[in-house]
Structure 1
Amino acid sequence: MTDDNQQAAPSSENAADAPHHRTIKSFVMRAGRTTEGQERALRELGPRFLVPFRAEVLDTTATFGRQAPVVLEIGFGMGDATAQIAQTLSDTDFLACEVHEPGVGALLKKIGEHDITNIRILQHDAVEVMEHMIAEGSLDGVHIYFPDPWHKKRHHKRRLIQPTFVDQLVSRLKPGGYLHLATDWEPYAQQMLEVLSANTALRNTAGSYADKPAYRPLTKFENRGLRLGHGVWDLVFRKA
Protein backbone atom coordinates (compact mmCIF):
# COMPACT_ATOMS: atom_id res chain seq x y z
CA MET A 1 0.00 0.00 0.00
CA THR A 2 1.06 3.55 -0.52
CA ASP A 3 -0.30 6.88 0.60
CA ASP A 4 -0.01 8.28 -2.90
CA ASN A 5 -2.44 7.64 -5.72
CA GLN A 6 -1.40 4.72 -7.90
CA GLN A 7 -1.10 4.94 -11.67
CA ALA A 8 -2.26 2.07 -13.81
CA ALA A 9 0.53 1.40 -16.29
CA PRO A 10 -0.60 1.47 -19.92
CA SER A 11 0.33 -1.44 -22.15
CA SER A 12 3.64 -1.03 -23.93
CA GLU A 13 1.86 -1.26 -27.27
CA ASN A 14 0.10 2.09 -26.83
CA ALA A 15 2.14 3.60 -24.03
CA ALA A 16 2.83 6.84 -25.85
CA ASP A 17 -0.82 7.62 -26.52
CA ALA A 18 -2.60 5.96 -23.57
CA PRO A 19 -4.12 8.18 -20.85
CA HIS A 20 -2.87 7.74 -17.28
CA HIS A 21 -5.70 6.46 -15.07
CA ARG A 22 -5.30 7.26 -11.38
CA THR A 23 -6.66 4.73 -8.89
CA ILE A 24 -7.15 5.77 -5.27
CA LYS A 25 -6.05 3.06 -2.86
CA SER A 26 -7.92 2.62 0.42
CA PHE A 27 -4.88 1.04 2.09
CA VAL A 28 -1.21 1.75 2.68
CA MET A 29 1.46 -0.93 2.34
CA ARG A 30 3.05 -0.87 5.79
CA ALA A 31 6.56 -2.18 6.25
CA GLY A 32 6.67 -5.05 8.69
CA ARG A 33 8.98 -7.90 9.54
CA THR A 34 7.72 -11.40 8.91
CA THR A 35 8.75 -13.65 11.78
CA GLU A 36 10.39 -17.04 11.33
CA GLY A 37 7.15 -18.76 12.39
CA GLN A 38 5.11 -16.74 9.91
CA GLU A 39 7.60 -17.49 7.13
CA ARG A 40 7.39 -21.20 7.94
CA ALA A 41 3.58 -21.03 7.83
CA LEU A 42 3.69 -19.25 4.47
CA ARG A 43 6.04 -21.88 3.13
CA GLU A 44 4.31 -24.95 4.53
CA LEU A 45 0.62 -23.96 4.61
CA GLY A 46 0.49 -21.35 1.85
CA PRO A 47 0.14 -23.90 -0.97
CA ARG A 48 -3.03 -25.27 0.66
CA PHE A 49 -4.71 -22.18 2.07
CA LEU A 50 -3.58 -19.30 -0.18
CA VAL A 51 -5.76 -18.66 -3.25
CA PRO A 52 -3.91 -16.89 -6.08
CA PHE A 53 -5.57 -13.84 -7.58
CA ARG A 54 -6.98 -14.48 -11.04
CA ALA A 55 -9.29 -12.31 -13.12
CA GLU A 56 -11.96 -15.02 -13.16
CA VAL A 57 -14.83 -16.02 -10.89
CA LEU A 58 -13.73 -18.27 -8.02
CA ASP A 59 -15.44 -21.65 -7.63
CA THR A 60 -15.86 -21.64 -3.85
CA THR A 61 -17.20 -25.20 -3.71
CA ALA A 62 -14.04 -26.49 -5.36
CA THR A 63 -11.85 -24.14 -3.33
CA PHE A 64 -13.17 -25.31 0.05
CA GLY A 65 -14.02 -28.87 -0.97
CA ARG A 66 -17.62 -28.56 0.18
CA GLN A 67 -20.81 -26.60 -0.35
CA ALA A 68 -21.40 -24.21 2.56
CA PRO A 69 -22.28 -20.57 3.27
CA VAL A 70 -19.45 -18.24 2.22
CA VAL A 71 -18.42 -15.04 4.03
CA LEU A 72 -15.87 -12.60 2.63
CA GLU A 73 -13.66 -10.80 5.16
CA ILE A 74 -11.83 -7.70 4.00
CA GLY A 75 -8.66 -6.66 5.84
CA PHE A 76 -8.10 -9.16 8.65
CA GLY A 77 -4.93 -7.62 10.11
CA MET A 78 -3.08 -10.31 12.09
CA GLY A 79 -6.02 -12.72 11.80
CA ASP A 80 -6.92 -13.19 15.47
CA ALA A 81 -10.63 -12.43 15.04
CA THR A 82 -10.79 -14.29 11.73
CA ALA A 83 -9.41 -17.49 13.25
CA GLN A 84 -11.76 -17.31 16.23
CA ILE A 85 -14.84 -16.59 14.11
CA ALA A 86 -14.01 -19.46 11.74
CA GLN A 87 -13.76 -21.83 14.71
CA THR A 88 -17.04 -20.54 16.16
CA LEU A 89 -18.88 -20.71 12.82
CA SER A 90 -17.39 -23.97 11.59
CA ASP A 91 -20.27 -24.60 9.17
CA THR A 92 -19.36 -21.42 7.26
CA ASP A 93 -16.45 -20.94 4.86
CA PHE A 94 -14.39 -17.74 5.09
CA LEU A 95 -12.61 -16.12 2.18
CA ALA A 96 -10.22 -13.63 3.80
CA CYS A 97 -8.43 -10.77 2.01
CA GLU A 98 -5.31 -9.06 3.36
CA VAL A 99 -2.37 -7.45 1.55
CA HIS A 100 0.19 -7.47 4.39
CA GLU A 101 2.45 -10.52 4.40
CA PRO A 102 3.09 -10.64 8.19
CA GLY A 103 -0.69 -10.76 8.75
CA VAL A 104 -1.13 -13.47 6.14
CA GLY A 105 1.66 -15.48 7.75
CA ALA A 106 0.17 -14.96 11.21
CA LEU A 107 -3.25 -16.23 10.12
CA LEU A 108 -1.69 -19.24 8.38
CA LYS A 109 0.18 -20.00 11.61
CA LYS A 110 -3.11 -19.94 13.56
CA ILE A 111 -4.74 -22.16 10.94
CA GLY A 112 -1.99 -24.72 11.49
CA GLU A 113 -2.00 -24.47 15.28
CA HIS A 114 -5.78 -24.88 15.59
CA ASP A 115 -6.37 -27.17 12.59
CA ILE A 116 -8.79 -24.70 10.98
CA THR A 117 -10.04 -25.92 7.61
CA ASN A 118 -12.71 -23.36 6.66
CA ILE A 119 -10.48 -20.38 5.78
CA ARG A 120 -8.86 -19.51 2.46
CA ILE A 121 -6.71 -16.41 2.04
CA LEU A 122 -6.34 -14.00 -0.87
CA GLN A 123 -3.25 -11.81 -0.49
CA HIS A 124 -4.56 -9.15 -2.84
CA ASP A 125 -6.47 -5.87 -3.02
CA ALA A 126 -10.05 -6.68 -1.98
CA VAL A 127 -11.50 -4.19 -4.47
CA GLU A 128 -10.00 -6.17 -7.37
CA VAL A 129 -10.99 -9.47 -5.75
CA MET A 130 -14.59 -8.26 -5.54
CA GLU A 131 -14.57 -7.05 -9.11
CA HIS A 132 -13.09 -10.14 -10.73
CA MET A 133 -13.37 -13.19 -8.45
CA ILE A 134 -16.67 -12.94 -6.58
CA ALA A 135 -19.81 -13.86 -8.51
CA GLU A 136 -22.93 -11.75 -8.16
CA GLY A 137 -25.37 -13.10 -5.59
CA SER A 138 -22.86 -15.62 -4.22
CA LEU A 139 -21.96 -14.39 -0.72
CA ASP A 140 -23.84 -15.06 2.50
CA GLY A 141 -22.03 -12.28 4.32
CA VAL A 142 -19.23 -9.71 4.33
CA HIS A 143 -17.13 -8.74 7.37
CA ILE A 144 -15.13 -5.49 7.44
CA TYR A 145 -13.67 -4.81 10.87
CA PHE A 146 -11.76 -1.66 11.80
CA PRO A 147 -10.82 -0.45 8.31
CA ASP A 148 -8.41 2.48 8.14
CA PRO A 149 -10.49 5.54 9.13
CA TRP A 150 -8.28 8.00 7.23
CA HIS A 151 -8.76 10.67 9.90
CA LYS A 152 -7.78 13.75 7.89
CA LYS A 153 -10.57 15.29 5.84
CA ARG A 154 -8.48 15.42 2.67
CA HIS A 155 -8.02 11.64 2.93
CA HIS A 156 -11.70 10.74 3.42
CA LYS A 157 -11.87 9.81 -0.28
CA ARG A 158 -9.60 6.88 0.56
CA ARG A 159 -12.06 5.35 3.01
CA LEU A 160 -13.17 1.93 1.86
CA ILE A 161 -16.85 2.42 2.72
CA GLN A 162 -18.11 4.60 -0.12
CA PRO A 163 -21.42 4.33 -2.05
CA THR A 164 -19.85 2.78 -5.15
CA PHE A 165 -18.04 0.07 -3.21
CA VAL A 166 -21.12 -0.69 -1.11
CA ASP A 167 -23.13 -1.06 -4.33
CA GLN A 168 -20.58 -3.64 -5.45
CA LEU A 169 -20.72 -5.47 -2.11
CA VAL A 170 -24.51 -5.59 -2.26
CA SER A 171 -24.42 -7.01 -5.80
CA ARG A 172 -22.27 -9.90 -4.52
CA LEU A 173 -24.58 -10.72 -1.60
CA LYS A 174 -27.37 -13.25 -1.83
CA PRO A 175 -30.87 -12.03 -0.91
CA GLY A 176 -30.86 -12.08 2.89
CA GLY A 177 -27.07 -11.89 2.99
CA TYR A 178 -25.55 -9.54 5.54
CA LEU A 179 -22.92 -6.83 5.74
CA HIS A 180 -21.20 -6.47 9.15
CA LEU A 181 -18.93 -3.49 9.75
CA ALA A 182 -17.16 -2.36 12.91
CA THR A 183 -15.06 0.71 13.69
CA ASP A 184 -13.67 2.51 16.73
CA TRP A 185 -13.70 5.91 15.02
CA GLU A 186 -17.07 7.58 15.56
CA PRO A 187 -16.97 9.97 12.55
CA TYR A 188 -16.30 6.98 10.29
CA ALA A 189 -19.12 5.05 12.00
CA GLN A 190 -21.43 7.94 11.16
CA GLN A 191 -20.33 7.89 7.52
CA MET A 192 -20.79 4.11 7.37
CA LEU A 193 -24.30 4.44 8.77
CA GLU A 194 -25.18 7.16 6.25
CA VAL A 195 -23.79 5.25 3.26
CA LEU A 196 -25.42 1.93 4.17
CA SER A 197 -28.74 3.56 5.08
CA ALA A 198 -28.83 5.32 1.70
CA ASN A 199 -28.60 2.00 -0.18
CA THR A 200 -32.18 1.00 -0.94
CA ALA A 201 -31.25 -2.69 -1.29
CA LEU A 202 -30.15 -2.85 2.37
CA ARG A 203 -32.10 -2.76 5.60
CA ASN A 204 -30.64 -2.00 9.01
CA THR A 205 -31.10 -4.88 11.48
CA ALA A 206 -30.97 -2.36 14.36
CA GLY A 207 -32.46 1.06 14.93
CA SER A 208 -29.04 2.63 14.39
CA TYR A 209 -25.85 0.86 15.49
CA ALA A 210 -26.09 -2.83 16.33
CA ASP A 211 -25.06 -4.73 19.43
CA LYS A 212 -21.83 -6.63 18.83
CA PRO A 213 -22.80 -10.05 17.44
CA ALA A 214 -21.68 -12.90 19.68
CA TYR A 215 -19.47 -14.40 16.96
CA ARG A 216 -17.21 -11.32 16.76
CA PRO A 217 -14.56 -11.55 19.49
CA LEU A 218 -13.04 -8.54 21.19
CA THR A 219 -9.49 -7.95 19.98
CA LYS A 220 -6.64 -7.01 22.34
CA PHE A 221 -6.61 -3.53 20.79
CA GLU A 222 -10.38 -3.21 21.23
CA ASN A 223 -10.26 -4.37 24.86
CA ARG A 224 -7.55 -1.81 25.61
CA GLY A 225 -9.63 0.94 23.97
CA LEU A 226 -12.75 -0.02 25.91
CA ARG A 227 -10.79 0.14 29.17
CA LEU A 228 -9.78 3.67 28.22
CA GLY A 229 -13.39 4.60 27.52
CA HIS A 230 -13.19 4.48 23.73
CA GLY A 231 -16.29 3.45 21.83
CA VAL A 232 -16.76 0.72 19.21
CA TRP A 233 -19.62 0.80 16.72
CA ASP A 234 -21.01 -2.28 14.92
CA LEU A 235 -23.35 -2.05 11.93
CA VAL A 236 -25.26 -5.04 10.58
CA PHE A 237 -27.34 -4.60 7.42
CA ARG A 238 -29.11 -7.25 5.34
CA LYS A 239 -29.87 -7.35 1.65
CA ALA A 240 -33.59 -7.36 0.98
Structure 2
Amino acid sequence: MQPGDIETELGLPIPGRILEEAEWARTAVKRLPEPGPLDWAAIFGRQAPLVLDLGCGNGRFTLGSALARPELNHFAIDVLPVVIRYATRRANQRGLHNVRFAVKDAQTFLRSYVGDAAAAEMHLYHPQPFHDPREAHRRVVTPAFVGDVHRGLAPGGLFVVQTDNPDYWHYMTKILPYFFVFEEHEGVWPDAPAGRSRREIVARQRGLHIFRGVGTRRDDLDHAEALELAASLPEPRFRTRGPWIELDRWEERNR
Protein backbone atom coordinates (compact mmCIF):
# COMPACT_ATOMS: atom_id res chain seq x y z
CA MET A 1 0.00 0.00 0.00
CA GLN A 2 1.16 3.52 -0.87
CA PRO A 3 0.60 6.87 0.89
CA GLY A 4 -2.87 8.14 0.08
CA ASP A 5 -4.28 4.67 -0.52
CA ILE A 6 -7.51 3.51 1.09
CA GLU A 7 -7.52 -0.10 2.26
CA THR A 8 -10.59 -2.27 1.81
CA GLU A 9 -11.82 -5.32 3.64
CA LEU A 10 -14.75 -7.52 2.62
CA GLY A 11 -15.40 -5.04 -0.17
CA LEU A 12 -15.69 -2.04 2.17
CA PRO A 13 -13.14 0.70 2.95
CA ILE A 14 -11.25 0.69 6.22
CA PRO A 15 -11.45 4.15 7.84
CA GLY A 16 -8.66 6.58 7.00
CA ARG A 17 -5.88 6.88 4.47
CA ILE A 18 -2.30 5.67 4.65
CA LEU A 19 0.06 8.58 5.35
CA GLU A 20 3.69 9.21 4.52
CA GLU A 21 5.89 7.19 6.86
CA ALA A 22 7.19 10.34 8.55
CA GLU A 23 3.63 10.98 9.79
CA TRP A 24 3.01 7.52 11.22
CA ALA A 25 2.16 7.01 14.90
CA ARG A 26 3.31 4.41 17.42
CA THR A 27 0.20 2.87 18.91
CA ALA A 28 1.33 -0.47 20.36
CA VAL A 29 1.54 -1.01 24.10
CA LYS A 30 3.82 -4.03 23.88
CA ARG A 31 3.74 -4.86 27.57
CA LEU A 32 1.27 -3.73 30.19
CA PRO A 33 2.75 -2.83 33.59
CA GLU A 34 2.05 -4.69 36.81
CA PRO A 35 -1.66 -4.71 37.68
CA GLY A 36 -3.00 -1.40 38.89
CA PRO A 37 -4.94 1.53 37.45
CA LEU A 38 -3.22 2.77 34.30
CA ASP A 39 -2.00 6.36 34.09
CA TRP A 40 -3.86 7.43 30.98
CA ALA A 41 -2.30 10.90 30.81
CA ALA A 42 1.15 9.29 30.77
CA ILE A 43 0.15 6.73 28.15
CA PHE A 44 -1.26 9.33 25.75
CA GLY A 45 0.82 12.34 26.73
CA ARG A 46 -2.29 14.40 27.41
CA GLN A 47 -5.48 14.60 29.43
CA ALA A 48 -8.61 13.73 27.42
CA PRO A 49 -11.82 11.70 27.81
CA LEU A 50 -11.15 7.99 27.36
CA VAL A 51 -12.89 5.50 25.06
CA LEU A 52 -12.25 1.78 25.68
CA ASP A 53 -12.83 -0.85 22.98
CA LEU A 54 -13.08 -4.20 24.78
CA GLY A 55 -12.37 -6.83 22.15
CA CYS A 56 -11.42 -4.63 19.22
CA GLY A 57 -10.64 -7.28 16.60
CA ASN A 58 -8.71 -5.67 13.76
CA GLY A 59 -9.63 -2.20 14.98
CA ARG A 60 -12.31 -0.98 12.58
CA PHE A 61 -14.41 0.78 15.23
CA THR A 62 -11.44 2.32 17.02
CA LEU A 63 -9.95 3.62 13.77
CA GLY A 64 -13.20 5.24 12.71
CA SER A 65 -13.91 6.73 16.11
CA ALA A 66 -10.38 8.06 16.58
CA LEU A 67 -10.44 9.71 13.16
CA ALA A 68 -13.85 11.28 13.76
CA ARG A 69 -13.14 12.31 17.36
CA PRO A 70 -9.48 13.36 17.68
CA GLU A 71 -10.24 15.10 20.97
CA LEU A 72 -10.76 11.68 22.65
CA ASN A 73 -8.18 9.10 23.69
CA HIS A 74 -8.89 5.54 22.50
CA PHE A 75 -7.46 2.41 24.15
CA ALA A 76 -8.37 -0.90 22.51
CA ILE A 77 -7.63 -4.46 23.56
CA ASP A 78 -8.10 -7.96 22.23
CA VAL A 79 -6.99 -11.35 23.50
CA LEU A 80 -5.68 -12.37 20.04
CA PRO A 81 -2.19 -11.02 19.19
CA VAL A 82 -2.76 -11.48 15.44
CA VAL A 83 -5.68 -9.05 15.26
CA ILE A 84 -3.86 -6.52 17.44
CA ARG A 85 -0.99 -6.61 14.94
CA TYR A 86 -3.41 -5.72 12.13
CA ALA A 87 -5.05 -2.99 14.20
CA THR A 88 -1.75 -1.48 15.32
CA ARG A 89 -0.33 -1.36 11.80
CA ARG A 90 -3.43 0.37 10.49
CA ALA A 91 -3.54 2.94 13.28
CA ASN A 92 0.19 3.62 12.90
CA GLN A 93 -0.13 4.19 9.15
CA ARG A 94 -2.99 6.64 9.71
CA GLY A 95 -1.04 8.71 12.20
CA LEU A 96 -3.51 8.13 15.02
CA HIS A 97 -1.65 9.48 18.04
CA ASN A 98 -4.86 9.29 20.10
CA VAL A 99 -4.96 5.47 19.90
CA ARG A 100 -3.22 2.67 21.80
CA PHE A 101 -3.60 -1.10 21.40
CA ALA A 102 -2.69 -3.92 23.78
CA VAL A 103 -3.15 -7.68 24.00
CA LYS A 104 -5.30 -8.58 27.01
CA ASP A 105 -8.64 -10.20 27.77
CA ALA A 106 -11.45 -7.82 28.67
CA GLN A 107 -12.23 -9.24 32.12
CA THR A 108 -8.66 -8.99 33.39
CA PHE A 109 -8.12 -5.62 31.78
CA LEU A 110 -11.16 -4.06 33.42
CA ARG A 111 -10.58 -5.68 36.78
CA SER A 112 -6.85 -5.02 37.02
CA TYR A 113 -6.01 -1.95 34.90
CA VAL A 114 -9.03 0.37 34.71
CA GLY A 115 -9.50 2.63 37.70
CA ASP A 116 -12.77 3.95 39.06
CA ALA A 117 -14.60 6.42 36.77
CA ALA A 118 -11.73 6.29 34.25
CA ALA A 119 -13.62 6.09 30.94
CA ALA A 120 -16.25 8.17 29.21
CA GLU A 121 -17.28 5.25 26.99
CA MET A 122 -16.79 1.50 26.74
CA HIS A 123 -17.64 -0.50 23.61
CA LEU A 124 -18.12 -4.25 23.26
CA TYR A 125 -18.87 -5.58 19.78
CA HIS A 126 -19.79 -9.23 19.17
CA PRO A 127 -18.33 -11.00 22.21
CA GLN A 128 -17.83 -14.69 21.55
CA PRO A 129 -20.99 -16.60 22.66
CA PHE A 130 -19.17 -19.96 23.11
CA HIS A 131 -21.84 -22.36 21.86
CA ASP A 132 -20.47 -25.39 23.69
CA PRO A 133 -22.10 -25.41 27.16
CA ARG A 134 -18.81 -26.64 28.59
CA GLU A 135 -17.28 -23.30 27.59
CA ALA A 136 -20.09 -21.10 28.89
CA HIS A 137 -17.83 -19.95 31.74
CA ARG A 138 -15.66 -18.15 29.15
CA ARG A 139 -18.42 -15.73 28.13
CA VAL A 140 -17.39 -12.14 28.73
CA VAL A 141 -20.71 -10.60 29.72
CA THR A 142 -21.30 -11.72 33.28
CA PRO A 143 -22.73 -9.78 36.23
CA ALA A 144 -19.21 -9.29 37.63
CA PHE A 145 -17.93 -7.97 34.28
CA VAL A 146 -20.86 -5.59 33.94
CA GLY A 147 -20.21 -4.42 37.50
CA ASP A 148 -16.62 -3.63 36.50
CA VAL A 149 -17.88 -1.71 33.45
CA HIS A 150 -20.14 0.32 35.75
CA ARG A 151 -17.26 1.03 38.15
CA GLY A 152 -14.85 2.02 35.37
CA LEU A 153 -17.23 4.47 33.71
CA ALA A 154 -17.38 8.10 34.71
CA PRO A 155 -20.76 9.49 35.81
CA GLY A 156 -23.05 9.51 32.80
CA GLY A 157 -20.68 7.23 30.89
CA LEU A 158 -21.84 5.04 28.02
CA PHE A 159 -21.63 1.27 27.52
CA VAL A 160 -22.28 0.28 23.88
CA VAL A 161 -22.91 -3.39 23.07
CA GLN A 162 -23.67 -5.37 19.94
CA THR A 163 -24.12 -9.03 18.97
CA ASP A 164 -25.63 -11.19 16.25
CA ASN A 165 -26.56 -13.93 18.74
CA PRO A 166 -30.18 -13.62 19.97
CA ASP A 167 -29.60 -15.83 23.01
CA TYR A 168 -26.70 -13.71 24.20
CA TRP A 169 -28.73 -10.57 23.47
CA HIS A 170 -31.65 -11.87 25.53
CA TYR A 171 -29.28 -12.36 28.46
CA MET A 172 -27.73 -8.90 28.04
CA THR A 173 -31.11 -7.18 27.96
CA LYS A 174 -32.00 -8.86 31.27
CA ILE A 175 -28.72 -8.02 33.04
CA LEU A 176 -27.68 -4.59 31.76
CA PRO A 177 -30.70 -2.58 32.96
CA TYR A 178 -29.70 -3.28 36.57
CA PHE A 179 -26.56 -1.19 36.04
CA PHE A 180 -27.50 1.15 33.18
CA VAL A 181 -30.38 3.06 31.70
CA PHE A 182 -30.42 0.77 28.69
CA GLU A 183 -31.99 1.35 25.30
CA GLU A 184 -31.93 -0.85 22.24
CA HIS A 185 -30.65 0.90 19.13
CA GLU A 186 -32.76 0.26 16.07
CA GLY A 187 -31.05 0.25 12.70
CA VAL A 188 -27.44 0.85 11.75
CA TRP A 189 -25.01 3.16 13.53
CA PRO A 190 -25.13 6.55 11.74
CA ASP A 191 -21.34 6.93 11.87
CA ALA A 192 -20.74 3.50 10.26
CA PRO A 193 -23.78 2.41 8.23
CA ALA A 194 -21.82 -0.45 6.65
CA GLY A 195 -20.77 -1.77 10.07
CA ARG A 196 -18.64 -0.79 13.05
CA SER A 197 -16.81 -4.11 13.15
CA ARG A 198 -15.60 -6.79 10.76
CA ARG A 199 -17.89 -9.30 12.44
CA GLU A 200 -20.90 -7.06 11.88
CA ILE A 201 -20.09 -6.74 8.19
CA VAL A 202 -19.76 -10.51 7.77
CA ALA A 203 -22.94 -11.21 9.75
CA ARG A 204 -24.97 -8.72 7.74
CA GLN A 205 -23.65 -10.09 4.46
CA ARG A 206 -24.91 -13.48 5.62
CA GLY A 207 -28.34 -12.13 6.49
CA LEU A 208 -28.11 -12.26 10.29
CA HIS A 209 -29.89 -9.73 12.46
CA ILE A 210 -27.68 -7.38 14.47
CA PHE A 211 -28.74 -6.45 18.00
CA ARG A 212 -27.43 -3.09 19.25
CA GLY A 213 -27.85 -1.16 22.47
CA VAL A 214 -26.52 1.76 24.52
CA GLY A 215 -26.46 1.89 28.30
CA THR A 216 -25.99 5.09 30.29
CA ARG A 217 -24.36 4.51 33.68
CA ARG A 218 -26.78 4.46 36.59
CA ASP A 219 -25.18 7.03 38.86
CA ASP A 220 -27.60 6.26 41.70
CA LEU A 221 -25.85 2.90 42.14
CA ASP A 222 -22.63 3.02 44.16
CA HIS A 223 -19.80 0.50 43.93
CA ALA A 224 -20.80 -1.50 47.00
CA GLU A 225 -24.37 -1.79 45.74
CA ALA A 226 -23.12 -2.82 42.29
CA LEU A 227 -20.96 -5.57 43.82
CA GLU A 228 -23.87 -6.88 45.86
CA LEU A 229 -26.11 -6.77 42.82
CA ALA A 230 -23.59 -8.60 40.64
CA ALA A 231 -23.32 -11.39 43.21
CA SER A 232 -27.08 -11.91 43.11
CA LEU A 233 -27.58 -12.13 39.34
CA PRO A 234 -27.38 -15.30 37.22
CA GLU A 235 -24.34 -16.24 35.16
CA PRO A 236 -24.68 -16.55 31.34
CA ARG A 237 -25.45 -20.26 31.19
CA PHE A 238 -27.94 -20.06 28.32
CA ARG A 239 -27.81 -22.52 25.41
CA THR A 240 -27.13 -21.00 21.99
CA ARG A 241 -28.73 -22.25 18.81
CA GLY A 242 -29.18 -21.25 15.19
CA PRO A 243 -27.25 -20.52 11.96
CA TRP A 244 -24.70 -18.12 13.52
CA ILE A 245 -22.77 -21.16 14.75
CA GLU A 246 -21.55 -21.70 11.18
CA LEU A 247 -20.61 -18.02 10.97
CA ASP A 248 -18.49 -18.33 14.11
CA ARG A 249 -16.62 -21.23 12.55
CA TRP A 250 -16.11 -19.24 9.33
CA GLU A 251 -14.73 -16.31 11.35
CA GLU A 252 -12.27 -18.56 13.16
CA ARG A 253 -10.94 -19.84 9.82
CA ASN A 254 -10.71 -16.39 8.20
CA ARG A 255 -9.33 -14.05 10.85
Where on the TM-score scale, by shorter chain, does this alignment land: which range? 0.7 to 0.9
Q: Does 1:139 align with 2:115?
A: no
Work out the CA distance in 1 between the residues paired with 2:109 and 2:207.
Answer: 36
Work out the CA distance in 1 between the residues paired with 2:199 and 2:152.
Answer: 30
* Deviation for aligned residue 1:51: 5.5
Aligned residue for 1:180, secondary structure, equals strand
User: RMSD between aligned alpha carbons?
Assistant: 2.3
* Deviation for aligned residue 1:113: 1.8
Work out the CA distance in 1 between the residues paired with 2:198 and 2:141.
Answer: 24
Identity of paired residues, percent? 23
* Deviation for aligned residue 1:211: 4.2
Q: Cα 1:88–1:150, aligned 2, differ >3 Å: closer, same or farther?
A: same
Work out the CA distance in 1 between the residues paired with 2:113 and 2:201.
Answer: 35
Aligned residue for 2:161, secondary structure, equals strand
Alignment of 1:10-89 (within 5 A): 49-50=28-29, 52-53=31-32, 54-89=34-69
In structure 2, what is the equivalent of residue 12 of structure 1? Answer: none
Task: List gaps (5 residues or longer) in structure 2.
Answer: 1-23, 219-255
Residue identity in the other structure for 1:111: A
Work out the CA distance in 1 between the residues paired with 2:209 and 2:49.
Answer: 31
Residue identity in the other structure for 1:213: W
Q: Does 1:97 align with 2:90?
A: no
In structure 2, what is the equivalent of residue 236 of structure 1? Answer: 214
Work out the CA distance in 2 between the residues paired with 1:220 and 1:99.
Answer: 16
Work out the CA distance in 2 between the residues paired with 1:209 and 1:193.
Answer: 12
2:97 counterpart (117, 124, 146)? 117
Work out the CA distance in 1 between the residues paired with 2:110 and 2:198.
Answer: 29
Q: Cα 1:73–1:220, aligned 2, differ >3 Å: closer, same or farther?
A: closer
Please say if residues 181 and 217 of structure 2, whose CA atoms lie closer than 8 Å, have aligned partners that are also in contact: yes
Q: Does 1:226 align with 2:222?
A: no
Q: 4+ residue runs of structure 1 moved beyond 3 angstroms?
A: 208-213
Work out the CA distance in 1 between the residues paired with 2:30 and 2:199.
Answer: 28
Residue identity in the other structure for 1:66: R
Q: Does 1:215 align with 2:191?
A: yes
Please say if residues 45 and 108 of structure 1, whose CA atoms lie closer than 8 Å, have aligned partners that are also in contact: no
Aligned residue for 2:129, secondary structure, equals coil
> Scaled by the length of structure 1, what TM-score is found?
0.73
In structure 1, what is the equivalent of residue 142 of structure 2? Answer: 162
1:107 counterpart (87, 109, 115)? 87
Residue identity in the other structure for 1:100: L
1:202 counterpart (155, 172, 180)? 180
* Deviation for aligned residue 1:135: 0.8
